[in-house]
Amino acid sequence: MFLGLDIGTSGVKAMLVDEAFATIAVAQAPLTVSRPHPGWSEQDPQDWIAACEAAIAEIAGAHGDALAKLQAIGLSGHMHGATLLDASDTPLRPCIMWNDGRSGQQCLDLETRADFRGIGGNIVMAGFTAPKLLWVAENEPEIFEKTAKVLLPKDFVRLWLTGEHVAEMSDAAGTLWLDVANRQWSDALLEATGLTREAMPALVEGSDVSGILRAELAETWGVPRVPVAGGGGDNAATACGMGVTAPGTGFLSLGTSGVLFAVTDRYAPNTDEAVHAFCHALPDVWHQMGVILSATDSLSWLSEISGRTPANLASLLPARIEAPSGLGFLPYLSGERTPHNNPDATGAYLGLRRVTQLPDLVQATMEGVSMAFADCVRALRLAGTEIEAAYAVGGGARSDQWLSIMAAITGLTLLKPVDGDFGAAFGAAKLAAACATGDISAAVFAPPNADREIAPDADLAAQYAPFHELYRKSYGDLAAWQSGR
């Protein structure tokens, strides 16, 4: 048996799988986010521990015999969170989360201090860990002075499990302190933030042993003292669960936000287009991500203002999409990452007429989000990564109409996996298996079977082709409108 633990923003998920990766048990425990000021987002690290205890206790209570056969534990978690510990490993303040935006000025400062783009592979954004620490140094100097270790959220859970300060490559790349090409901490990037390697955890690969489960926890849960795998950041762990671990493979996540994830055999940044370039959770592979901030959230927004559920809105469209809506939609409702890196970008509908009806807006919304994903495809290709097909996951992937629009606009062939849970907890469990067995082959990281393949419709793609350039041009026009020029 293998246990995967995923520390999510809204809850902890524990998944127990057997040696064939069949799910034996799943348990979840909720988490809350504190927002003490506008733009702030924080969590109490001890809440992660309490949630893990609750989820594992639930599995132990219902499936104790299966859990007793445990061979390894794997970890996943939301990335970029700044968890500051003193010399006794006590958190000094709440964790500053991935979606915290307070460090905008610090981002600008760090860009001038070191080659974060060249070494770290990414634009300095408020979501990353490094600018958060500079914010603490400038606004909470007494906390900064006491900081002995900086851990990512899942690595604080690892500390509780094993007593070890350890991180792995995929999550560490999201701090902006990692030399991503060479998979080691960068002294130059740390120095720019007023830190040294002494404040950093040791580094392992996601499939490596990071420590051994503490005796008291093993006794409490009725399990052996098993190894704990390095694990992965949430997107890398999801890729491991999907079997997206070799160059030429990828997934498209159509969730609240959107991610286009592609595996590479080399470090391949494209900061000009705001592509994220990270290490993967397995040795000798990297990955790129195009990220959009309002994917299904765009349809959720339309749902809120129309008084209809997202599913009801989707049902307004014909079963087969045969032509563009004729409208434009820029889905920048919460700013945008790829390719604009503009947290202040705003959205818009274009081409509205008196005869425009709600179904037109629904289709235009799906088209605009798909145009944003086409921008991600373009950005990855400019970084040298050709991607032709991707697994489609996330809530939006339940809409066949949306996937047909997405395929026509992006040019990607989209694969719908068979029903199952292939998320971050499942990927963490697979990394646990790799840790226990030493096997990082496709025997462990096999892709799911696809029960549908949505190839681009040539006629529909030809109709959409001229609209993408208009969409790209509209961003600049709207920016001028927003600024009053």
Nearby residues of 213 by Cβ (< 8 Å), 6 or more positions away: 73, 161, 162, 223, 224, 225, 226, 227, 228
* Active-site annotation holds for 234: yes
List the structure tokens of 282.
């397995």
Q: What is the pLDDT of residue 485?
A: 54
Residue 386: predicted pLDDT: 86
> Is the pLDDT score of 480 beyond 80?
no
What integer pLDDT is reported at residue 465 of this predicted model? 94
Q: Kindly tell me the sign of the dihedral angle through the C-alpha atoms of 476, 478, 482, 483.
A: positive
Mean pLDDT throughout 359-388? Answer: 95
- Output the DSSP codes for 24-67: EEEEEEE---B-SSTT--EE-HHHHHHHHHHHHHHHHHHSHHHH
pTM of the model: 0.89
Residue 182 and residue 279: Cα distance in Å, rounded? Answer: 10
pLDDT score for 451:
85
- Asked if 85 and 147 touch (Cβ cutoff 8 Å), the reply is yes
Taking the CB of residue 30, how many other CB atoms lie within 10 A of it? Answer: 11
Please give the pLDDT value at position 482.
Answer: 67
pLDDT (mean) for 159-167: 98
Residue 484: the pLDDT is 63
The pLDDT tens digits of the residues spanning 430-448 come to 999 999 999 999 999 998 8
Which letter does DSSP use for residue 339 in this model? T
Distance (Å, rounded) from C-alpha 433 to C-alpha 72? 7
Residue 420 has pLDDT above 90, yes or no: no
Tokens of 129: 């860990």
Q: What is the pLDDT of residue 372?
A: 97
Cβ neighbours around 315 below 10 Å, total: 14
Percentages (nearest 5) of helix, strand, coil residues in the chain: 40, 20, 40
pLDDT at residue 483, rounded to an integer: 66
pLDDT at residue number 30: 94
Q: What pLDDT, on the 0 to 100 scale, is given for residue 257?
A: 87
Q: CA 360 to CA 441: how far, in whole Å?
A: 47
DSSP labels for 229-282?
E--EEHHHHHHHHHT--STT-EEEEESSSEEEEEEESS----GGGT-EEEE-SS
Contacts of 41 (CB under 8 A, 6+ apart): 33, 34, 35, 96, 97, 98, 99, 100, 101
**Residue 420's Cα: distance from chain center in Å?**
19
In the prediction, which pLDDT does 419 show?
72
Give the range among 214-228, 246-260, 315-329 with minimum mean pLDDT: 246-260
Q: Please report, for the chain, how many H helices and E strands are present, in that order.
A: 16, 24
> What is the pLDDT averaged over residues 5-13?
93
Q: What is the mean pLDDT of residues 261-290?
A: 94
- Listed in order, strand segments (DSSP E) in 48-152 are 72-77, 83-85, 95-96, 149-151
Q: What is the pLDDT of residue 342?
A: 85
Pairwise CA distance, residues 169 & 178, whole Å: 8
Phi-psi region of 59 (alpha: psi -120 to 50; beta: other; left: phi over 0): alpha
293 — pLDDT class (breaks 50, 70, 90): confident
pLDDT > 70? residue 53 = yes
The one catalytic residue in 47, 234, 297, 360 is 234
Query: How many other CB atoms are there within 10 angstroms of residue 78's CB atom?
Result: 25
pLDDT of residue 299: 95
The pLDDT value recorded for residue 334 is: 85
> What is the chain's mean pLDDT, rounded?
94
Q: Which of 38, 40, 8, 226 is nearest to 126 (CA)?
A: 40
Looking at residue 228, what is its pLDDT? 98
Average pLDDT over residues 453-465: 96
Mean pLDDT of 332-352: 89
